Amino acid sequence: MKLYVTAPSNNKKNLDVYAESRPELQSLIGSEYLSVEGITYHVSQVFAEKGQESAPASAVIGGAIGLVGGMPGVLIGGAIGALFGNEADKKEELKIQAFNRS
């Protein structure tokens, strides 16, 4: 999950901070306001969206199983990697929804 604000030019500006909720974000930055590229935003203007963290881990798990097991391992590894990736995506989506509701 990554956090961002929308600049006046409608471009998303990603933040280099992670929080599970807006109150946690406010606590981390020590204020209800933050500055991004010289523009001040309120924590209510920060939103969460899907990051790219889960896909590589699932690919590594699937690939490792595939290397060990030959062709059957590739098929099984692909399926296991997809399952892990799907579960990670579901968890991340729940975190995103929770942050955006906070």
Closest CA to 59 of 35, 84, 28, 39: 84
Q: What's at 89, amino acid-wise?
A: D
Q: Could you tell me the two tokens for 76?
A: 């099984």
For residue 70, the one-letter residue type is: G
Q: Specify the pLDDT at position 97.
A: 92
Cα of 35 vs its chain's centroid, Å: 21
On the question of pLDDT at 69 being above 80, the answer is no
In tens, the pLDDT along 44-58 reads 999 999 887 655 666
Report helix, strand or coil for 7.
Answer: coil
